[in-house]
Amino acid sequence: MSRFLFVVPPLTGHVNPTASVGGELLARGHDVAWVGHPATLAPLLPDNARILPAIDDDLEAEIRAKRERWLALRGMAVLKFFWEEFLIPLGHAMVPGVADAVRAFQPDVVVADQQALAGPVVAREAGLPWVTSASTSAELVNPLRTMPKVDAWVRDLLHDFAGGDIRFSERLVLVYSSKALVAGEFGDEVAFVGPALEHRVERSGFPWEWLVRGAGRDSAVAGRMGGGAAERSVLVSLGTLNGPAGERFLTQALEAVADLPVRAVVVGEPRPAPPNVLILPSVPQLALMPHLDAVVTHGGHNTVCEALAHGLPLVVAPIRDDQPTVAAQVVEAGAGVRLTYSRARAADIRSALESVLDEPEYAAAAERVRASFSEAGGAAAAADRLEKVVAG
């Protein structure tokens, strides 16, 4: 039995893969703990999970406020703010709590999310092996390689903070994707384990009866559907709405699905919607995936890989950060259509959805990616690799 400590930022998409891998390690009899923001972690982890604090509620509120400011930025200001105002300060703020957690839990291995820079810093100081949990595959291909001055600036920031580039461990990098999506040559330390979906906890409710054929539609909608009910269902999940542009896209998406023979589940705040649309502030996304035929998304790595893990084609409208890189991976794999988030109109979204639903090559490509994910092994493969780190 070994002891594994997961270090994570207060971001759901970064916690989720560790919840799955940690759950697999717990099932194998290992001791597992998470360190971060307890109120963010608790709903995403098993009820008996051991949670250690490195972020209090005040800091988490400050991080959320910074994220709102970040979402309003454009161009290079996005990257500058992300590193100078978010990632590096978060690293400094988490170091004391992570150090306390290491002393209290005495882990054999520290598993640090790639945006939890405190994890590698504390692990090195404690003489512990550390592993990277790469919650997005985008940085593996170094999207800044075409901007060498910007790339050098990022590396300088990391050197000032940690004495070197600690984004990826030299011992093991767990990547929750596969080479069917991520092109390039990588060292043996890079393990493509596919999406880690097992052992995940989803506490959002869902009115499953709404998905029953014919639920929630009036006679006019039924008439447009040829007198019957919609045969297919889609999910529209855009992550955090991006100000006016986000509201605009969602409005266009609602208009796009209004006249399509689909049931559309939309993640967002309540607003007027067509009768074939269900809007909820949150959904049990993994549980919902087997009931879907396509997904419209902003290109978040978790949502994209969860959809492809179920063989679902995608309409991807990336906003910022890693999302353009993830969208490019989807298009290159042939598993979806990419739209311009800030300019897509209802007709564009409707046409893209019709393409991925009606043209079989998109579903076939999504199925090829799904098969590659299944072969990669998921949480079990990640746990295997972590056990080998302990074994040396």
Q: Map out the domains of the chain with their CATH numbers.
A: 3-194+377-391 (3.40.50.2000), 208-374 (3.40.50.2000)
Paired with 7 in beta bridges are 35, 112
Q: How far, in Å, CA of 103 to CA of 85, rounded?
A: 28
Whole-model pTM: value is 0.91
Phi, psi of 359 (to 5 degrees): -95, 115
Mean pLDDT of 50-69: 92
Query: What's residue 269's pLDDT?
Result: 87
Nearest to 310, CA basis, from 381, 353, 369: 369
Residue whose entry in the numeric block shows the structure tokens 């608790």? 42
Q: Could you tell me how far CA 276 lies from the centroid of its own chain?
A: 27
Query: What's residue 76's pLDDT?
Result: 85
Share of the chain above pLDDT 70, in %: 94
Share of the chain above pLDDT 90, in %: 78
Query: What's residue 244's pLDDT?
Result: 58
72 has pLDDT over 80: no
Q: What is the pLDDT of residues 2-55, one digit of tens each?
A: 999 999 999 999 999 999 999 999 999 999 999 999 999 999 998 889 999 999
